[in-house]
Structure 1
C-alpha cells in the first residue's frame, strides 16, 4: 500500500501528539509525506459585560508565537524519530474542521486525535466528528493504546460504505502483515409477534450467504491476508467496542441503515469514536 500524503490535524494537545506519532509510523511504512495542519479560528467577538464569563483572549502576536513554537517542536521531534519521512507544517486562520474537510480532496489519509483542547475535558472533539463524517478520504481518529500484534477489525453492514471499509481494511492488513477480522452484527430483534431467526438470536441463512459472498470477493484480491469472518446477532456498537480491546485498528463506515446519508455519522461510528480503545478508521464510499 502506497500513500502519497497524510494530513494531520495538529494542535498542542497530547491527543494531537499521539495522532502525529501514528501518522509518522504509517508514513514510514508506506512512503507517504506528512503535513501538520494547525488551524486557528480567531474569535470574532468577546463579551464586554463583566458579568458574562468569557475565555481569556491572548494578544495575536503571543498566539502566533505559541503556534509557531508548537509546530517547530513537532517538526524537530519528527525529524528525530522518523528521519526518513518528509514532514511539513502549515497554519491557517480558519476553523479546523472545515479546513480539513476542504483539504481532504488532496489527501490520501487524514489523522486526528480523539479530541483537542476543549472547554469540557474528555469530550469528543467536534473536529473529529465533523471531519470523520464529511471528509473525502479515510479518516483515522487515534484513540487508546492499540495492541501492537492485534488484527485489523472491520465492521460492515448493508450500506454502500461497506465496500470502502473492506477496501481499506484488506489494504492495510496486507501492507502491515496483520490478520483481518470482518464482522457483520445484526442487532437483536425484540417485540416481534412472529418468531424469526433474528429474534431467536440466529443469523438467517440468506443474510449469512450475502455477507460471505461479499467478503469472498475481497479474499480473491488479497489472498495473502488471513481473514476470519463473524456473522452474529449482537448490537454492533457493543461488539465492535469489545473487539477494539485487542485490535490494532478498527475500520467502520460513515453511516449505517437508517442514517441521513451524507449528513451524519451512523450511531455505531459515533459510539466507537467515543468508546473504542484503539485507533478508529472511518472509511468513505466517496474515497478515491
Structure 2
C-alpha cells in the first residue's frame, strides 16, 4: 500500500458506494490511487452475515470467495467508470474498526461511509465512528449521504490551536484543487463577558485568524478566502455552515478539548450531524 493512497472502507452497502464515489472524485483531483478495503470478520457465533449470504454459525471458504469477488468487481467497475485512475481492492481479516485504524498508518487519506452492513455492521454509528476517526493515523473523511456535492465552499473550523492549523492547511489544499472558495469560520464563546469585552474578544480572534490565513493567501493568490468570526456554539455554527458547503474540515481536537482526548466534541458532533462530508485533519 502506498502512503499516498486513498483508503476506502468498503462493504458493498449503499453508503460505502457513496464513500467510494467521493474517494474517486478526490483521486481525480489529486492523482492518488484508491484502495477498497473490505474487512472480513469471522465470527464463531450465530448471526454472522456477509453480503448476499445467509446468516450462519461457521463461515466457509465460499463466503470468503464471495467477498473477494465483490471487492474485485467493485474495483474493476470503478476503474472502468473512471479511466486513468488506479483502483485496487483488498480483503482484510479482523475487527473492522481496528483493522481500518491499523491500515490507515499506510494511507494518505481514509474515507468512510456513514453506515455499513456485513463486515462493517454498525461501523459508523455512535462510539465506533468516533473510535475510527479518533485513532486513525491519517486524515479521515466521513461521507454522510448520497446527495450531489453543492457548488459551495470548503468550510474549515478554526480556533487557533495546532490541530486547527493542520485543518486549515488541509482545507486550503482541497479548495485549491476544487477551484472553489474557502470559508474560514471561527466561533468564539464569550461566556459572561460584557458587551465591550465580547466585542474585543471577537476583534482579537479575527486578527489572529487573518494572521494565520495570510501565508495561505500568498501561496494561493487565486483562491477566494473569506474569514468569518462570530459568537455562539462552534459545533452548531459549523453544522449550519455545512448545509451550503461541499466539505467541512476540522482538526481532531481544538482548544476546548480535554487533555488526553483524541477527538474533540466539535468533531464528534459534525460526524453525526453535518449535511456534507466531514474531514478530520491530522498529521500522518
Same fold (TM over 0.5): yes
Q: Which residue of 1 aligns with 2:51?
A: none
- Residues 187/13 of structure 1: CA separation in 2 closer, same or farther (3 Å cut): farther
Matches within 5 A, 1:1-150: 4-45=4-45, 56-57=56-57, 59-117=59-117, 124=125, 126-144=127-145, 145=147, 147-150=149-152
Determine if contact 1:111/1:142 at 8 Å carries over to the other structure. Answer: yes
Instruction: Judging by fraction of residues, say which structure has more helix.
Output: 2
Determine if contact 2:35/2:90 at 8 Å carries over to the other structure. Answer: yes
Q: Deviations for 1:142-170, whole angstroms, at most 9, x for unmatched residues?
A: 12325431110001113211111011111
Q: Distance in 2 between matches of 1:282 and 1:37?
A: 20
Number of matched pairs: 273
SS in 1 for 2:90: strand
Q: Which stretch shows the higher mean deviation, 253-262 or 200-209?
A: 200-209
Q: CA deviation at 1:207?
A: 2.5
Give me the CA root mean square deviation: 2.6
Unpaired runs of 5+ in structure 1?
Answer: 48-54
Unpaired runs of 5+ in structure 2?
Answer: 48-54
Determine if contact 1:115/1:128 at 8 Å carries over to the other structure. Answer: no
> Structure 1 residue 282 and structure 2 residue 245: aligned?
no
Q: Which residue of 1 aligns with 2:180?
A: 178
- Residues 270/197 of structure 1: CA separation in 2 closer, same or farther (3 Å cut): farther
**TM-score, normalising length: structure 1:** 0.85
- Residues 120/60 of structure 1: CA separation in 2 closer, same or farther (3 Å cut): closer
**TM-score, normalising length: structure 2:** 0.86
Determine if contact 1:179/1:227 at 8 Å carries over to the other structure. Answer: yes
